[in-house]
């Protein structure tokens, strides 16, 4: 199976990419910019990754819970 990465940003967006699309680097490498990994998507200036979640399967019994700084919470099915 393929693992998806859900990438959450400070602008409230979620990007989904396949884990195997991220280049593998050695320990001494500086890494790859978020913008370079998902160039096909429009990313706003100043948009930064705040969290990532690996998802192996999407099913009715799996949920994503999110919360805002204003105290709003949301439960979303991953199916």
Is there a contact between 75 and 65 (Cβ–Cβ < 8 Å)?
yes
pLDDT value for 40: 62
Between 40 and 79, the more confident residue is 79
Q: Residue 15 — very low, low, confident or very high, per pLDDT cuts 50/70/90?
A: confident
Is there a contact between 49 and 32 (Cβ–Cβ < 8 Å)?
no
- 4: tokens are 């998806």
Looking at the 3D structure of the chain, how many domains does it have? 1
- Whether residue 14 has pLDDT greater than 70: yes
Q: What is the dihedral of CA 50, 54, 75, 8, to 10 degrees?
A: 20
Query: Which residue range forms the structural domain that includes residue 41?
Result: 4-77
- Residue-wise pLDDT tens digits, 24-74: 888 888 887 777 776 666 778 888 888 999 999 888 899 999 888 899 999
- Residue-wise pLDDT tens digits, 1-11: 589 999 888 88
Q: How far apart are CA 50 and CA 69, in angstroms?
A: 13
């Amino acid at each position: 199976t393929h693992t998806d990465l859900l990438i959450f940003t400070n602008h409230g967006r979620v990007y989904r990419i396949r884990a195997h699309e991220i280049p593998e680097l050695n320990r001494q490498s500086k890494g790859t910019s978020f913008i370079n990994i998902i160039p096909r998507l429009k990313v706003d200036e100043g948009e930064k990754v705040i969290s990532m979640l690996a998802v192996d399967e999407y099913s009715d019994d799996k949920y994503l819970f999110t919360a805002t700084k204003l105290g709003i919470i949301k439960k979303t099915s991953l199916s």
